[in-house]
Amino acid sequence: MKKTIITVVLAFSLLTSISIATIPKNFSQKKLDEFTQKYGKEASKRLLLWDDLIEAAKNKKILYKLKMVNDFFNQIRYERDITHWGKVDYWASPFEFLGTGAGDCEDYAIAKYFTLRQLGIEDKKLRIVYVKLLNRNSKYEQAHMVLTYYHKPNATPIVLDNVNKKLKLATKRPDLKPIYSFNAGGLWRAKNKGSQRVGENNLKSWKDLMTRI
């Protein structure tokens, strides 16, 4: 299995030189055909590598799943929404993210979230978090999104990020200032210690995303 994981990682960066399985296991052939028609053959290789990643990670322990998913999506090129989509803010589905081969912070977090859900991790253990990212070289705070994993309620979460690409506990990320967080089940407002549930997830961008998924 270790060899399989290495192959998946290498294949992502060497798309043109490595043979990839052409029969998907986690979505239909029809979906693959429609995806290929819309985004092209090179994009379909990324989709199949995603499928391979899911297969390779299914029986792994939680930390391995987190690392494999985090590392996989962090290889995709970063590009701002205004440049990539012609919109100030656009939340891409994992298929759109892989299809276009680029995206910004929320696209990484969303793709990781849905992949880990596919791998059997409960929704209540995952939250996408809107944060202010503190730039160490200035006092400027940048809007940013990350994914967090909670081993149990009120535990210190593990952060999956596309800026600092290593898995770290939230207490080891003083550069992140949480504002609010959400998953499919709800919305939370950050407090000085922990967070407070404020209700259902009624974010318009999330609703738009779910209609496309």
Q: Report d(CA 4, CA 168) in Å as an integer.
A: 25
Mean pLDDT for the chain?
90
Q: What is the per-residue pLDDT across 115-147, written as a single tens digit (0 to 9) for each?
A: 999 999 999 999 999 999 998 776 788 999 999
Residue located via tokens 């656009």: 90
Residue from 144, 127, 149, 148 nearest 197 by CA: 127
Share of the chain above pLDDT 90, in %: 81
Euclidean distance between CA atoms 148 and 76, whole angstroms:
19
Phi, psi of 104 (to 5 degrees): -115, -170
pLDDT of residue 6: 47
Write out the two tokens for 79. 């590009």
Model confidence pLDDT, tens digit, residues 4-39: 444 444 445 444 333 455 789 999 999 999 999 999
Would the pTM of this model clear 0.85, i.e. be above it?
yes
Q: Are 57 and 64 in contact (CB under 8 A)?
A: yes
Q: What is the pLDDT of residue 20?
A: 53
